[in-house]
Every structure is written in structure tokens, then in C-alpha cells.
Structure 1
Amino acid sequence: MKDSFLSAQVLEPYAEALMSLAQSQNLVDRFGEDVSSLLNLLQNSQELQQFLESPVVQEDAKKAVLRQIGGDQLHPYMMNFLMILVERRRVLFLEGIFKQFQARLRKLKQTVLAEVTSVVELTDTQRQSVIEKVKAMTGAHEVELDSKLDPDLIGGVIIKVGSQVVDASLRGQLRRISVSLGRST
């Protein structure tokens, strides 16, 4: 249901409303931080996700948990936004709304999202090198890295920016060698 046409009609207006509020109150960066921390919490807690999405759980219980989680860390406007989502039974779309908000924020700040897959965690020097490579590829002012680990790569990295993929992994190199050997026989 989350990827359906209905969710697309729900995600956009709420993400747009949140961005509009952030811009009108000069809170774009603050909302960006709040959204990132909440998204991180949602993605790392399957229980929280299920709790918020459950139609059986009462509104008041959902609001109480969100208030407890947000505490003093979330901006009051962000907390109000969450309460509205609960009241309108849209909290199950929270992750999607926040991802749409982040996409709008990246566009506003001329930032691109680069998904980097590697065997081990990248060092700061390697991260900076990837950022510079992505900036050169895209012409973006800023680069946001989303790092993932994949032990099957053997070594190297795969960088994905939108539809562009740079496969600098050993697995990719071996695959290319295999294909070129297959053509020459």
C-alpha cells in the first residue's frame, strides 16, 4: 500500500506543506535535522514502525509515544506536524513523507544523494574522495552519502547517483573481464 497511487497523492502534499512551513519560518536546516533523526529512528526500529502503522493502536497512544521520542529535541512545529499526521491517520506514511521532504531539501540546497556500497566502512579520506568524484560527475554543490556494506563485493566501491552507476568494485571488474573474455572466444 505504501507504494500505491494513493500514497503518492498523500506524500507530496504533506512533504510540500512541511517544506513550506520550514521555509516560511526560516527553519529549513532545523527541520532537515529533525527529519533525519526521526527517519533514522524509524528505519532502525521495526517495532516503532509497526506501532505507528497499526490501525488497532489508539491515537492517544501514538501521540504519547511520539511526544516521548521527540521530547525537547524536536522543534515544536515538527511535533505539531506529527500530531496532525496521527489525527488524520496519515502517520503510516511518515517515512515516505520524510523521504519526499529530504528530496525537496536536497533540491533546494543543490545537494545530490550518492549511495555508496563497499565491503568495509569508508575512511574519512575515502569518503571525501567519493564526494569529490560525485561533485565532478554531477556539478552539485553538496553531496550526501548513504553508505551500505556488501561483503560480496570483495573490494572497491559502487557509487550510485540517480540513474548513474559507477562500479569500481572487484566483483564488477571480474564481471567485465568475464564478459570481454566471452566475446573473444
Structure 2
Amino acid sequence: MKNTVANEEIAAPYAQALMTVAKSNNLTEAFGNDARGLVTLLSESKELRNFFDNPFASIESKKVVINRVLGDDTNAFFRNFLMLLVDRKRIYLLDGICQQYLTLLRELNQTVLAEVISAVPLSEAQEQAVKERVISMTQAREVELSKKVDSELIGGVIIKVGSQVIDASLRGQLRRLSLRLTSS
């Protein structure tokens, strides 16, 4: 199923419950690492997403796949939570639950998520400069970067933090220049 507003509303209490379990067992960061891993895996594997979305796949087969995917190093509380999602036929919400959990974790840690789109991969120094710029804009304690490469930018970067967008790309500068020239 596609993520809809209804799915997000259903996923929210599960993410809250996962955060409650994580806080009570001092495992917020460990759960965050597991959630990040699952989000990455689900974004890279359409087959896995389709399998979890498939209502005809048996509960037992979904549990077997989860155990294989997680490996032995995953926390027992997190594993049990995923098994509960399978039992309640809510595993199709896994991506949304993990995304919302990560949002709650960022709020807890006073961290903001900044999406950075660049023409080429950023160097460590450039990433640090972006983080410093975002911290000065938002007064956050830390910045988590979501990096994407888009060769159509020609050069520069676009930084998105919440609803704020800083377009320092060459494509954006050319577009603004074109608008100024056509409006003159």
C-alpha cells in the first residue's frame, strides 16, 4: 500500500509506542540505528516492500524474512516489536513507523534533518560547512544530512530544512537570472 495520510495516522501510535519502549530501556539510539537500516533496506528493495505489503503472504513467512533481514545483532525488544506488527497485520506500515520514529528521535535529540542536493558528492569539509550553516539557521544542537546527487544542478547545492529551501545551485541562479531578464 502507498503511504497515505490514513497510513501515517495509523503508524503514529506505533512509532510512539516504539519510542516509549526505547526510552524505558535506554535504547533510543540503538532503535534509531535499526530503524535507519530498515528504511534504507525498504527503499532499496522493492521486492521486500511488496512482500510486506502482500496480504496473501503468510504471517510465518513474514516472520522468517524479518529474522533473516535483521540478523542476530538486532535488539530483542525491536525484533519483538516487528513480530507484533506482523501479528497485527500492520507490517505494511513498517517504513512509515520507522520514519516517524526517526522524526521523534530527532526531536528528542534536538537534531534537524537537512536534505542536501548537490551536482557532485560533497567532501567532508563541504558537509561540515552545510551542517554549520543549518545549525546557525535553526539553532539545533545537531544536523542529520540526507544527501542526494543531481547532475542537472550543474554546480552548487540546494538545502532543504523543513519548509525552508536555500537554492545555491547554478541551475537556480540561471533560472533567477532568466526571470529577471524576462521581467525587464
Fold conserved (TM > 0.5)?
Answer: yes
Residue 139 of structure 1: how far off its partner (Å): 0.6
- 1:6 matched residue in structure 2: 6
Instruction: Name the SS for the 1:128 alignment partner.
Output: helix
CA distance in 1, matches of 2:123, 2:5: 40
What is the letter of the counterpart of residue 119 of structure 2? V
TM-score normalised by L of structure 1: 0.96
- 1:129 matched residue in structure 2: 129
The CA deviation string for residues 38-93 of structure 1, in whole angstroms up to 9 with x for no partner, is 11111111111111111111000000010011121210100000000000000000
Residue 18 of structure 1: how far off its partner (Å): 0.2
Alpha-carbon RMSD across the aligned residues, in angstroms, is 1.0
Cα 1:114–1:5 change in 2 (3 A) is closer
2:102 counterpart of 1:102: yes
Instruction: Name the SS for the 1:57 alignment partner.
Output: coil
Residue 181 of structure 1: how far off its partner (Å): 1.1
What is the letter of the counterpart of residue 77 of structure 1? F
Instruction: Name the SS for the 2:131 alignment partner.
Output: helix
Identity of aligned residues (%): 51
Contact 1:2 1:93 survives alignment (8 Å): no
- 1:148 matched residue in structure 2: 148
CA distance in 2, matches of 1:2, 1:13: 18
Counting matched residue pairs gives 184
Cα 1:83–1:3 change in 2 (3 A) is same
What is the letter of the counterpart of residue 82 of structure 2? L
Cα 1:132–1:26 change in 2 (3 A) is same
What is the letter of the counterpart of residue 133 of structure 1? R
TM-score normalised by L of structure 2: 0.97
Deviation beyond 3 Å, 4+ runs, structure 1: 1-5
- 2:176 matched residue in structure 1: 176
What is the letter of the counterpart of residue 162 of structure 1? G
The CA deviation string for residues 113-136 of structure 1, in whole angstroms up to 9 with x for no partner, is 000001111111110010001001
- 1:167 matched residue in structure 2: 167
Between stretches 24-33 and 6-15, larger displacement belongs to: 6-15
What is the letter of the counterpart of residue 182 of structure 1? T
The CA deviation string for residues 25-45 of structure 1, in whole angstroms up to 9 with x for no partner, is 111111111111111111111
CA distance in 2, matches of 1:69, 1:96: 18
- 2:60 matched residue in structure 1: 60
Residue 5 of structure 1: how far off its partner (Å): 4.1
CA distance in 2, matches of 1:9, 1:69: 26
CA distance in 1, matches of 2:73, 2:57: 24
Q: Which runs of 5+ in 1 are unaligned?
A: none
Residue 8 of structure 1: how far off its partner (Å): 2.7
2:127 counterpart of 1:119: no
